[in-house]
A and B are shown apart, each in its own frame.
Chain A
Amino acid sequence: KNEVEQSPQNLTAQEGEFITINCSYSVGISALHWLQQHPGGGIVSLFMLSSGKKKHGRLIATINIQEKHSSLHITASHPRDSAVYICAVRMSAGGTSYGKLTFGQGTILTVHP
């Protein structure tokens, strides 16, 4: 079993729909990242969370440390949101390396017009 699990693996939506991607992890963490990877490969960091909730435009990320769970929500989805969304955690035992991340397998999101 992977230490970081995402669901669903694939998600198809119609433009305008509200989307939720989930991430569960089995270890103690000090931070969780949500990343976006577009076709062609480039990765963009969307959020870094250690508690609570963050919002940026139509994107909202939440984390529940006690339940070891995070969600990424996209409101009013748009075809340009089509990408792979990856959850990554920095374990509490990661020492002094902030970038020593463990990644989920990614969620492929396709938004149709």
Chain B
Amino acid sequence: DTAVSQTPKYLVTQMGNDKSIKCEQNLGHDTMYWYKQDSKKFLKIMFSYNNKELIINETVPNRFSPKSPDKAHLNLHINSLELGDSAVYFCASSQDFRSYNEQFFGPGTRLTVL
């Protein structure tokens, strides 16, 4: 059973389009995250949610809107895609917010904006 799953795995789209990435975890975790990995492999937090509540929005443009319909899901919607949005997006989850809890990562979604 996949612990953290993301769909789609690959996403190729034109500039200006709107797209969504879905994330689900079946670990019963309270906290979920979105990270962006750029072309130089640098990973940076975008959003954190705890029990469906937004906790961190790390200076992400308004074009990015996360939505957590329940504790097990955290989706990412991106409006008006730009070339600079091309990256790998990772969803992750942890048991809760305490610092000693490892984060389990999904397989990533490679977004290419043409």
- A and B part of one assembly: no
